[in-house]
Chain A
Amino acid sequence: MPEQLLFAMEVTLNGLMAGVLYALVALGFVLIFKASGIFNYAQGVMALFAALTLVGIQQGQVPFAHLINAIFGTEVHHFPWQVPSLIAIVLAAGVMILFAWIVEKYVLQHLIGQPDIILFMATIGLAYFMEGFGDIMWGSDIKKLDVGLPQGMNATIDQVTFDWFGYGFFIDNLDIVAAIVASLLVAALTIFSQYSKQGRALRAVADDHSAALSVGISLRFIWVLVWSIAGFVALVAGIMWGAKSGVQFSLSLIALKALPVLMLGGFTSIPGAIVGGLIIGVGEQLFEFTIGPMIGGATQNWFAYVLALIFLIFRPQGLFGEKIIERV
């Protein structure tokens, strides 16, 4: 097989893996959008905050150490213990649930009935708030996240492909883990929403708020639930991205990367988020590989947006979105 084609295949595979990570973030968006019609811009910052919290708990950092030091002139930074990964993950998930409850009680409750765009802007405000809060709580330095996930090149794939084609593919172990986790997560969410009582209630709310209310479903509970699930998805995404590139501010920008994924897949569809993520992941890697060198490289910055923009002109509701019907 020609060398170029092999390269392209490797790039495609890596693109698929990157796409899974985009899809993970997009999934959180879709969940909240379906259940409450809120376009949650803060999803990316939630991933950052979850990852920061996880690392902070794991390493036994003192929350608000920087602030305490500044006010009282002390020198505290770490507790004398370290927390095992699993317990830290559970605690971080707990923090995200607490966060969901606070958001519901103090923000969403007061914004019921407002136009969608107001809610969207409120989540932008929320994102800014959390970003500052997370930095004050845990410090803004780049942190290394290590929960024992395998990293580095997968030797088996390298060996097998070398035997077949005479060229070893480079696939990161972490990406493979991420792909497995993402598929498990999607499967779990699907089973939850199809077969559990709460899941059915959630779908009912997504379908029609007032009809759901009239049959006795508590809207408040469903909102807390769905924000908690989204917080959990954010935690998973934060772990994956954090393990890949360190926990830092740029993590919150993956939210922006997830937006074109959503537009491609449609805001209301979980399979859409996955397929959109894969298309964007592969598309941007292949574009950078083939066209990128000709026009100066670094095309990943905009390719996804332009692709989504062009796509939307032909199909405004995205691939799997519900048909938009407008009435006066």
Chain B
Amino acid sequence: MFYREAGDFKTSYRDDSQTFPIRLDRMGYYILMFVAFLVVPFFINDYWVNAVFAPFLIYAIAALGLNILTGYAGQVSLGTGGFMAVGAYASYKLMTSFPEVSILIHIILAGGITAVVGVAFGLPSLRIKGFYLAVATLAAQFFLVWVFNKVPWFYNYSASGQINAPERSVFGVIVTGPNTEAWAKYMICLVFVVVLAWVARNLTRGMMGRKWMGIRDMDIAAEIIGVNPLMAKMSAFAVSSFFVGIAGALFFTVYLGAAEAGEAFGITKSFLILFMIIIGGLGSIFGSFAGAAFMVLMPVFLKNVLVGGLGWPTDLAAHFEFMIVGGLIVVFLIVEPHGLAQLWRLTKEKLRLWPFPH
């Protein structure tokens, strides 16, 4: 009844091609932004930011990055954990080498460094396709983690082999280290998420995104109609790694505070983020967020119900989590291969006609 485009007249091309063409969608988006920026920070506490908001926002960035590579450009990658590690260690080296420079610049530079590494490991994608590429990206995963464990320069020769985020502040507010307040953690992640999601949305609906999708759908055909596969694939790897690198940098500096490459950025992380985009929806910006929210909230929910509610031991709950995640992935692939994003789209289709379906 309320959710429809009737009466919502477009008078320019700009209006017509906007991200949220329906007024209610637009309003929803503005309300969401208002709540996220001006309401949540005043009510957030340590538990919520550490258990829900910080991981959700950071994984959303990583999922956006992987979705650009896998969902839009069709190159399956299992090296996300390794690239996150590059972002984390790059930000650590930058923070300790140039303490006077703002951490925002460090995080963005860390993304840039990851982009370079990503392109280097993406080069084989010109020759290797499909599964072979997926396995080839495992080389990045294992090699990078090994390098960060074995080369002491990366962790500044610390005895434990760990990296620890020093205290840094933005505009006088501490954002890293143990003294960070909950809302500051939340805000820095939120700012990055909003900016990067905007970038991703506009990249994917522009010329670059169309080239990526051409390569995804059939690379030879795309090449014939004039898409340069080298540029398209390399730009997908670069942009994706940039996102993943920023996610890794935030994950280490803001969320964890201390990290060890094998533990924090292992192969399980690569799979976790891959699951996010499968459940959320391949080739969808909204899907990246939905998948990240789902994969972050589900363990919290299960833990509360099984351990808190039924009093089961924690290891049993953890095993159930594995089963449920695995089962859900299979169910999603069977019932709705396009993930939560497609369900959302269908709901909106239905809502347009509701409550008068004819």
For the complex, is A132 an interface residue (Cβ under 8 Å from B)?
A: yes
Are A67 and B334 within 8 A (Cβ)?
no
Which stretch in A106-114, A186-194, A225-233 binds the other chain? A106-114
Are B323 and A133 within 8 A (Cβ)?
yes
Answer whether A298 and B136 are a contact pair too, CB < 8 Å, given A116-B131, A118-B337, A124-B329.
no
For the complex, is B300 an interface residue (Cβ under 8 Å from A)?
A: no
Within 8 A of A (CB), among B110-149: 124, 127-132, 134-136, 138-139, 141-143, 145-146, 149
Task: Across the interface, name the chain A residue whose C-beta is closest to B332.
Answer: A125
Task: Across the interface, name the chain A residue whose C-beta is closest to B79.
Answer: A305
Are A312 and B330 within 8 A (Cβ)?
no
For the complex, is A263 an interface residue (Cβ under 8 Å from B)?
A: yes
Are A121 and B278 within 8 A (Cβ)?
yes
For the complex, is B100 an interface residue (Cβ under 8 Å from A)?
A: no
Answer whether A301 and B146 are a contact pair too, CB < 8 Å, given A118-B333, A125-B328, A312-B132.
yes
Are A66 and B316 within 8 A (Cβ)?
yes
For the complex, is A316 an interface residue (Cβ under 8 Å from B)?
A: yes
User: CA of A313 to CA of B278 in the docked complex: distance in angstroms?
Assistant: 28
User: CA of A120 to CA of B321 in the docked complex: distance in angstroms?
Assistant: 21
For the complex, is A175 an interface residue (Cβ under 8 Å from B)?
A: no
Answer whether A313 and B143 are a contact pair too, CB < 8 Å, given A129-B322, A132-B326, A256-B138.
no
Chain A residues with CB under 8 Å of B275's CB are: 124
Chain B residues with CB under 8 Å of A286's CB are: none
Chain A residues with CB under 8 Å of B141's CB are: 305
User: CA of A120 to CA of B133 in the docked complex: distance in angstroms?
Assistant: 13
Chain A residues with CB under 8 Å of B146's CB are: 298-299, 301-302
Are A114 and B337 within 8 A (Cβ)?
yes
For the complex, is B227 an interface residue (Cβ under 8 Å from A)?
A: no
B316 interface neighbour in A67, A124, A129, A302, Cβ under 8 Å? A67
For the complex, is B195 an interface residue (Cβ under 8 Å from A)?
A: no
Shortest C-beta distance, A39 to chain B (Å), equals: 5
A313 interface neighbour in B124, B135, B310, B328, Cβ under 8 Å? B124
Which stretch in B26-34, B204-212, B217-225, B239-247 binds the other chain? B217-225
Are A326 and B334 within 8 A (Cβ)?
no
For the complex, is A148 an interface residue (Cβ under 8 Å from B)?
A: no
How many positions in chain A have a CB within 8 Å of any CB in the partner chain?
A: 51
Are A302 and B143 within 8 A (Cβ)?
yes
Q: Chain B 31-65, CB within 8 Å of chain A: the 1/0 string?
A: 00000000000000000000000000000000000
Shortest C-beta distance, B243 to chain A (Å), equals: 21
For the complex, is B99 an interface residue (Cβ under 8 Å from A)?
A: no
Are B131 and A256 within 8 A (Cβ)?
no
Shortest C-beta distance, A87 to chain B (Å), equals: 28
Are B319 and A135 within 8 A (Cβ)?
yes
Are A308 and B143 within 8 A (Cβ)?
no
For the complex, is A5 an interface residue (Cβ under 8 Å from B)?
A: no
For the complex, is A215 an interface residue (Cβ under 8 Å from B)?
A: no
Chain B residues with CB under 8 Å of A132's CB are: 319-326
For the complex, is A223 an interface residue (Cβ under 8 Å from B)?
A: no
Chain A residues with CB under 8 Å of B337's CB are: 114, 118
Task: Across the interface, name the chain A residue whose C-beta is closest to B218.
Answer: A328
Answer whether A316 and B323 are a contact pair too, CB < 8 Å, given A107-B330, A125-B333, A296-B151.
no
For the complex, is B315 an interface residue (Cβ under 8 Å from A)?
A: yes
User: CA of A186 to CA of B334 in the docked complex: distance in angstroms?
Assistant: 34
Main secondary structure of the interface of B (DSSP, over half): helix
Within 8 A of A (CB), among B322-350: 322-330, 333-334, 337
For the complex, is A176 an interface residue (Cβ under 8 Å from B)?
A: no
User: CA of A69 to CA of B295 in the docked complex: distance in angstroms?
Assistant: 28
Answer whether A129 and B323 are a contact pair too, CB < 8 Å, given A118-B333, A121-B278, A328-B220.
yes
Size category, B interface: 35 or more
Are B312 and A70 within 8 A (Cβ)?
yes
Task: Across the interface, name the chain A residue whose C-beta is closest to B151.
Answer: A296
User: CA of A123 to CA of B131 in the docked complex: distance in angstroms?
Assistant: 13
Are B131 and A328 within 8 A (Cβ)?
no
Shortest C-beta distance, A315 to chain B (Å), equals: 9
B224 interface neighbour in A256, A309, A328, Cβ under 8 Å? A328
Shortest C-beta distance, B255 to chain A (Å), equals: 24
Are A129 and B224 within 8 A (Cβ)?
no
Chain A residues with CB under 8 Å of B138's CB are: 256, 259-260, 305
Shortest C-beta distance, A91 to chain B (Å), equals: 23
A135 interface neighbour in B267, B310, B322, B334, Cβ under 8 Å? B322
Chain B residues with CB under 8 Å of A124's CB are: 271, 274-275, 329
Chain B residues with CB under 8 Å of A126's CB are: 326, 330
For the complex, is B150 an interface residue (Cβ under 8 Å from A)?
A: yes
For the complex, is B76 an interface residue (Cβ under 8 Å from A)?
A: yes
Shortest C-beta distance, A326 to chain B (Å), equals: 6
Are B334 and A316 within 8 A (Cβ)?
no
For the complex, is B313 an interface residue (Cβ under 8 Å from A)?
A: yes
For the complex, is A306 an interface residue (Cβ under 8 Å from B)?
A: yes
Are B327 and A312 within 8 A (Cβ)?
no
Are B124 and A122 within 8 A (Cβ)?
no
Are A136 and B319 within 8 A (Cβ)?
yes
Chain A residues with CB under 8 Å of B218's CB are: 328
Within 8 A of A (CB), among B245-296: 267, 271, 274-275, 278
> 27 A-B pairs, CB-CB below 8 angstroms?
A39-B131, A70-B312, A120-B131, A121-B278, A125-B330, A127-B326, A128-B323, A129-B322, A129-B327, A132-B321, A132-B324, A132-B326, A136-B323, A140-B319, A259-B135, A260-B138, A263-B135, A267-B131, A296-B150, A298-B149, A302-B143, A302-B146, A305-B136, A312-B128, A316-B128, A316-B132, A328-B224
Pairs A-B, 9 closest by C-beta atoms: A132-B322, A125-B329, A129-B326, A128-B326, A132-B323, A305-B139, A296-B150, A302-B142, A302-B143
